[in-house]
Amino acid sequence: MVHEHNESATGVAWIARFAQPLAGAAGGGPLAGLRFAVKDNIDVAGVPTTAGCPAFDRRPAEHAAVVRKLLDAGASLLGKTNLDQFACGLNGTRSPYGEVPNAFDARYVSGGSSSGSAYVVATGEVDFALGTDTAGSGRVPAGLNNIVGIKPSRGLLSAFGVVPAAQSADCVSIFARTVGLAVDVLLAAAGPDARDPYSRELALQSDPFPSAFRFGVPDTLSFFGDADAEGAFRDAQARLVALGGAPVTIPFAPLAEAAALLYESALVAERYAAVRGFFDAHGSQVIEPVRGILESGRGYSAADVFDAQTRLRGIAQQVEPMWRGIDVLLVPTAPTHYTRDQMRADPVVLNRNLGAYTNFVNLLDYAAISVPSSLRADGLPFGITLIAPCGSDLALADLGQRYHHVTGLPQGATGLPLPEPRSIAGLCTTARTMPIAVVGAHLSGMPLNSQLTERGATLLRATTTAPRYRLHALPGTVPPKPGLQRSAGGGTAIALEVWLVPLAQVGSFLALIPPPLGLGSVELADGSWVHGFICEGHALAEAEDVSHHGGWRSYLASRTQPDAASSAASSTRPIKESS
């Protein structure tokens, strides 16, 4: 296959970009028409696999298992992406092929080791990409580039044909701009494979998290002096609460101790073992600080490794009770951003900081998803990671999608809006709930919102009606309520929220809704229809039309502001002198 190395500013994300894409299977498939890239520690038949080290350069005769499955599902492969050498790093600057910049500000690191894969997804060059994740490489670059990163349960995706980093903890990871697409890729690529010694048959949890769920928050958090990140994480907690979550403080020290074992104990010997043959012969051709990390693995005995493994098992036993009090764990994907200059000046310590909330996850056999959370005041992305025990992949995706779609963020760095969320395949959700649109006193934070939350309803998304509606302030209602009516002409888009109400609770909820309001059908901005509250026409004769405010919140806010015209008039009146 003909391929080329592109050395342009953005081309540094690619190690090999094919002159012609490798076409997926003909005849359609679940991923037909989609384009993807793979990290260059994942084999593509006939194309060199460098793992970010030109001297390594193995020439595989067959595709990695995950590549073969994705091609069979109809996706087309565009090429292979840059990475921190031998997948050893979390920042994207440890490659002789060049430093991959952040998709939002090239002065900053992209995050690694799957830096190139994250960049080409964030910038829209491909629809999705594969990375790997041992210590956070499928999550940190997602968080730093405003995209989704799924770190599957270990063994769910085959690692056959993947250059190992620390084989017992490795995962193939998935980057996409939406959770829905990432799940499609996950399900297309999943399955046991006897060629991978750590592959396993996993029965994935088919139930979503409860509508009233508990999320763990570490009792100690460090953002390394980054006030923007700290504020963004506070906002993230508030958003999860609005989705039905209740925060629960959990002790983070045992998780931090597990994380430290990955590089600061005999477990690092597995990093050396992964490339021992090559490293012993060609160690001088490995760049620093990767060389020093691999070299450190040589100094441990077999007994040291067993001691470290036993300590890790002890920590796992210690933290297991945590899951009896929470459904999911919330952490920042990365605690801060660093410039590329800062990372070069202090590559070991700053890299370790980026992994503060990622390193323990694979060691303790958890699943995780990183989703975008906000764009900070400085324009840089902030992401959160949701973590739960092995097998919770689909439930995490469901909650992650709900969270992502209420942020209002664009897709990656493309500026494109998020599409409507989709049902998560393999998860039982929609059959047990009814989506209901609310426009007034039942909105988040409004006086009657508790009528939804106490019934276990969850916020699906905030959007608007189609531009065909009028909103009126109904007189004499307590608390104040609006009336929504479809207009034959001259309508506008009205802000609303769509809530998922458990079917068993729909009746009791509707019983609380007094006339002239009633349940009807409302057309949303994307052309879809949901059940929602509309108003009988006779009640609108004496009601003020407030449609020009665009929604009930804006109308109420306007009532609390001083009248601009009267304020201006009073400011021009002559001041009467006192006698």
Q: Catalytic residue positions? A: 39, 113, 137
- Are the C-beta atoms of 43 and 162 separated by less than 8 Å? yes
Parallel, antiparallel or unpaired: strands 328-332 and 381-389: antiparallel
- 274-295: buried (b, 16+ CB within 10 Å) or exposed (e) per residue? bbeebbeeeeeebbebbbebbb
> Is the CA virtual torsion 530, 532, 536, 540 positive or negative?
negative
As a residue count, the chain comes to 579
Residue type, 83: L
- Are the C-beta atoms of 501 and 436 separated by less than 8 Å? yes
Residues in contact with 139: Cβ distance below 8 Å, sequence separation at least 6, in sequence order:
133, 149, 151, 173, 333, 358, 368, 370, 383, 385
DSSP tag of 445: T
The sheet with strand 482-486 has its strands ordered as 482-486, 469-473, 544-545
Look up tokens 């995950």; give the residue.
66
For residue 309, count other CB atoms closer than 10 A to its CB: 16
Residues in contact with 407: Cβ distance below 8 Å, sequence separation at least 6, in sequence order:
239, 372, 373, 374
CA distances from 189 to 25, 130, 172, 367 (A): 14, 10, 10, 16
- Are the C-beta atoms of 128 and 24 separated by less than 8 Å? no
Look up tokens 């006698």; give the residue.
579
- 176-213: buried (b, 16+ CB within 10 Å) or exposed (e) per residue? bbbbbbbbbbbbbbbeebeebeebeebebbeebbebeb
- Are the C-beta atoms of 204 and 393 separated by less than 8 Å? yes
Look up tokens 């958890």; give the residue.
366
207 φ, ψ to 5°?
A: -100, 140
For residue 14, count other CB atoms closer than 10 A to its CB: 28
CA distance 93 to 519: 56
Tell me the three state secondary structure of residue 371.
strand
Strand boundaries in 124-170, DSSP class E: 128-133, 148-151
Cα 84 → chain centroid = 21
CA 441, 442, 447 angle in degrees (round to 5)?
55
Provide, for the chain, the percentages of residues in helix, strand and coil under a 3-state DSSP scheme, each rounded to the nearest 5: 35, 25, 45
Of 392, 351, 335, 352, the C-alpha closest to 369 is 392
